Structure 1
């Protein structure tokens, strides 16, 4: 019933008060990486449903960089020569944002604009904070408990130094929110590893260490990082309400940027 109501609202939203058809807004194409873990794809679909519920009149599509259908080139081809904003479901800058997605967009007939990756952004911090509280993190703690506590922000990792800058900024924002140290760590391609970060914090007397899952969906890396937690581990960001709002924020931000017929990365 909710889906039928949403579709009806979409149809009514495309009709102006004088009965004429309104132009359809540029399509939102959410660009996911892709994964062999089936939980990833189901999580992404659920997130897109949240986005559609928030913006019923907006055409929302999905395209993958690899591993899952639909692949991004196929999604863009299906749009013909229409307008589209590509929002990477990625948490930092890196090769996919800088090379893979722009190259796929440039080869498509659609007129595209490329939004910034999701991170860093305060809405991500809201999602991370919410997931930690769900896992058992107590917002209020004694000073002695606070001195013994810390968080490892577990991310996928990238060889691009700007990705580490973005992850580090998110860690800083989360530390300000929690009032304890937050150390970025990586599952691959970058250092420190999650194990190394946990040992370093223990050497400083921080024995209540939580692992915050800085992944958009469940998968191998997220599972491996969570298993290393000496205390508690939060779930991936997934369908947290802040994630859907952030996807739409990046879409709106890209639309507000200068109009161009070539893929362009909006400012963070």
Structure 2
């Protein structure tokens, strides 16, 4: 009987030389070090805080679509940033309901233009009523050069060009009993006047403060101005915006809505709040200007 022919065995791997062994160790260390930072294991960056845009709310059916269009532009400028909407009253979602649905961190950005009661009291109170969130309140949208840019743009759309379409402007705001809010509006008038090449701009209010828009128009008329336009510090159509526009003797600018400069300003206020200790707290440490 013939003995079976043995199969040749697989050749043994050649022993690693010193250089090969060092290369193998380096490769394995490199693979592992990709998951390690200097002070520990690599962790994904925390999610950005949710930007909660806070609108006042209005019974005007045009208000909600206008605010949503503004937030769509904000999302387009910063894809991936979580952006939500909450209203102080009259429209849904209400701010309290929006905050109840969130978790983690949030920045409330008021779609308002001065330090009135809503900004200084209502928004901090809403955050205090949502202890499950780590939140802060951003500055209101005014005063700021980007707000003046948006106001100027709406005036141009209305045909109110300096020297031809108008000789003076009334800047209409909602109004507040807060002296700080009035100062904010006055600073916005100065910024808009500079934007218009020094054209006279005077503040006026729909409620709670003086002068009213008709009174401001009469004042400018008495000073010799015949072509007076009205610009409104209003995010969306509503009772106050309509009331002020109807009092215009000439061109009346549309609400700011989804003007590109306003969308950039919303993001600027969000970024600014993240670089301060407590957002609109007047005692907070102010950060360097954020590029806009």
- Sort the TM-score into its range (normalised by shorter chain): 0.7 to 0.9
1:239 matches 2:261: no
More helix by share: 1
* 1:40 counterpart = 2:63: yes
1:202-246 CA distances to partner (integer Å, 9 max, x unpaired)?
111011100112211111111111111111111011110011100
How many residue pairs get matched?
A: 244
Does the residue aligned with 2:113 lie in a helix, a strand or coil? coil
In 2, distance between residues paired with 1:33 and 1:214? 13
Give a deviation string over 1:164-200, Cα, whole Å, max 9, x none: 1000000011111212110100111110010011011
Greater than 4 Å deviation, 4+ residue runs: 17-22, 262-268
Q: Which has the higher contact order (CA 8 A, sep 6+)?
A: 1
Match of 1:169 in 2: 187
Q: Is the CA contact (8 Å cut-off) linking 2:84 and 2:98 kept in structure 1?
A: yes
Residue of structure 1 in register with 2:16 after alignment: none
Counterpart check, 1:183 vs 2:205? no
Q: For 2:97 and 2:247, how far apart are their aligned partners in 1?
A: 38
d(CA) in 2 for partners of 1:122 and 1:263? 18
Residue 128 of structure 2 is aligned to residue 95 of structure 1: no
SS state of the match for residue 61, structure 1? strand
Secondary structure, counterpart of 2:62 in structure 1: helix
Query: Which ranges of structure 2 fall in alignment gaps of 5 or more residues?
Result: 1-33, 36-41, 288-292
Segments of 5+ residues of structure 1 without an aligned counterpart are: 1-16
Is the Cα–Cα contact under 8 Å of residues 273 and 280 in structure 2 kept in the other structure? no
Pair 1:75–1:264, CA change in 2 (3 A): farther
Answer with 1 or 2: which has the greater Rg.
Answer: 2
Match of 1:200 among 219, 229, 253: 219
